[in-house]
Amino acid sequence: MNTQEYIALEEQYGAHNYHPLDVVVHEAKGAWVTDVEGKKYLDCLAAYSAVNQGHCHPGIYEVFTEQAKKVTLTSRAFRNDQLPLLYKKLNEMTGYDMSLPMNSGAEAVETAVKTARRWAYDVKGIEEDKAEIIVASGNFHGRTTTIVGFSDDPASYKGFGPYCKDAFPMHEYGNIEDLKSKLTENTCAVMIEPIQGEGGIVIPPEGYLKAIENLCKERDILFICDEIQAGLGRSGKLFAHYYEEVRPDIVIIGKALSGGFYPVSAILADKEVLGVIHPGEHGSTFGGNPLGAAVAVRALEIIENEKLIERSAELGEYFAEQLRAIDSDRVVNVRARGLWIGLVLDRKARPYCEALMDRGILCKETHENIIRFAPPLVITKDEIDWALERISDVIKTV
């Protein structure tokens, strides 16, 4: 079958909940993918940062196949010999006492919401069913009905109500004074993305995260950072909140936690916070299963051993500098942290993404006029140079 035949099948039998570029991927390795007709593309999206370690990393594949021969799922009704190793690795790598594993990023966000609310009632003493979690404008934390209920993007929330808006007051992202104005006696947490990825790599003003941390400490409020896309090396540090040297009470992780082999997510916190969750109060059939745990441990080891965080910082700075050097009045701004770059145009970005696809580069537009570049962290400088030549040509000529 050729590209158009696959597209026709998808359009006929699949729900139209995405607007993908018309490339049908058949194989992938490292920073490259190959379509069903044999054409190669440099992947500059990395499955929204789920494959920071590169596609089909042989080290993760080795563990994946080895564990799949032993046991893949026991459910949490029993213990397994892989989950304790993941708990230990996350503690050693991040410093948090405990973690609670789930599957998708949205599930981990829901877990953080439930944990914060239980802490509000059991520890802070907020009246039952009154706890509020302050969120930020422009947020994207997932697609469940709870989460889209505190989005301000109509494409995410419109038509899926009713919502519990009062439980999630919204402040202007980056505006600490507006955040202060939203605080009440029922505020139990502030949840933000340290860098807004779906918003177009939006970096808050310097001092914003530190101000939130200080405010939360003063008011006995939990500080929650959603690091699902920003974390595990994407921003040039293990976590994007490291740029301001803060320590949130809860950190949400996912995507690159499994290197693209298996859905694994988690929240990280100390015992004073995660200790409020007791048996039977939260769980998941697949969360913490031995296959996912084994894969996650190896995925984390690869981030460390291959120095992918350092590569992201160094190559990301180079990539961004070269994009800023493109001589075109169509480029409004380049926002970047590590290998996470938002190229802001003065017009719609979709035609440029389509033209880049024709030239062998896969990327994706967001918020109409922004092109996101987020290649696997194993990309080389030569591959970046190859991409830059084509990106510059497309920006200037399309």
Which CATH number is 200's domain given?
3.40.640.10
Place of tokens 């494959």: 51
Among 305, 325, 352, the domain-final residue is 305
Kindly report the pTM of this predicted structure. 0.97
For 65-111, the pLDDT digits (tens) are 999 999 999 988 999 999 999 999 999 999 999 999 999 999 999 99
Name the band, by pLDDT with cuts 50, 70 and 90, for residue 343.
very high
Domains of the chain: total? 2
Q: Are residues 319 and 228 part of one domain?
A: no
- The DSSP string of 24-45 is -EEEEEBTEEEETTS-EEEESS
Same domain for 391 and 332, yes or no, is: yes
- Clarify whether residues 24 and 89 are in a common domain: no
Asked if 164 and 252 sit in the same domain, the reply is yes
pLDDT band per the 50, 70, 90 thresholds, residue 185: very high
370, 264: one domain = no
- Listed in sequence order, the residues at least 6 apart from 79 whose beta carbon sits closer than 8 Å to its beta carbon are none
Task: Note whether 42 and 172 are same-domain residues.
Answer: no
Return the H-helix or E-strand segment holding 189.
strand 187-192
Residue 350: pLDDT over 90 = yes
Residues 142 and 201 in one domain: yes
Residues 230 and 325 in one domain: no
Same domain, 195 and 343: no
Examine the fold and report which residue of 305, 334, 358 is the final residue of a domain before the chain moves on.
305
Please report, for residues 133, 158, 195, 199, 266, the alpha-carbon distance to residue 153 in angstroms, rounded to integers and kept in the order given: 18, 8, 17, 10, 25
Residues 375, 228 share a domain: no
Is residue 146 within 8 Å of residue 87, measured between CB atoms?
no
Claim to verify: residue 247 and residue 105 sit in the same structural domain: yes
Backbone phi, psi, residue 139, to 5°? -70, 155
pLDDT, position 165: 81
- Helix H segments across the chain? 3-13, 46-49, 58-70, 83-94, 105-119, 145-148, 154-157, 176-182, 208-219, 271-274, 290-305, 308-324, 350-358, 381-397
Q: Which residues are catalytic?
A: 140, 226, 255
Residue that is last in its domain, among 305, 335, 350: 305
Instruction: Determine the structural domain holding residue 169 and report its residue range.
Output: 58-305
| Domain CATH for 24 | 3.90.1150.10
Residues 43 and 63 in one domain: no
